[in-house]
Amino acid sequence: MSEQQEPCSLLIEGAPSTCKQCSIRLCLRQQVLNLALGFTETMQCLNCLARANGKDAAEMLDDLRIYIYSRECFKSQWVKYLDESYCPSPKECYPSVCFAESETKEL
């Protein structure tokens, strides 16, 4: 990661920073996923969101990523994580889907 900002300093101020189900820390992009789904008071990590919606986490992330790029209000936050090095928990998440190159090509 560049020496600009640490991922934890890029969280959306005032938004929940932990998953209401499993209590893990959320990253900025997980906060954006929740906002895109209309959740503002409580938020969940990607895995808990997917489980609650009966979806595969990587598939849900890919679907929501496309939606997020179509809405400037979400995209402006999403792009603050410049590359995979910004992912605070790559082993528990899906950085290859989250940072897929195709996200900017046709959107």
Residue 69: inside a domain = yes
Range of the domain at 57: 8-104
pLDDT in tens, 70-96: 999 999 999 999 998 888 888 888 998
Residue 73: inside a domain = yes
Using alpha carbons, select from 48, 85, 86, 46 the residue that is nearest to residue 63.
46
Residue 46: inside a domain = yes
Residue 1: inside a domain = no
88 close to 8: Cβ distance less than 8 angstroms:
yes
Angstrom distance (rounded) from CA 45 to CA 43: 7
Please count the structural domains in the chain. 1
pLDDT in tens, 40-66: 999 999 999 999 999 999 999 999 999
pLDDT in tens, 4-41: 556 567 899 999 999 999 999 999 999 999 999 999 99
Give pTM, 2 decimals.
Answer: 0.85
Residue 3: inside a domain = no
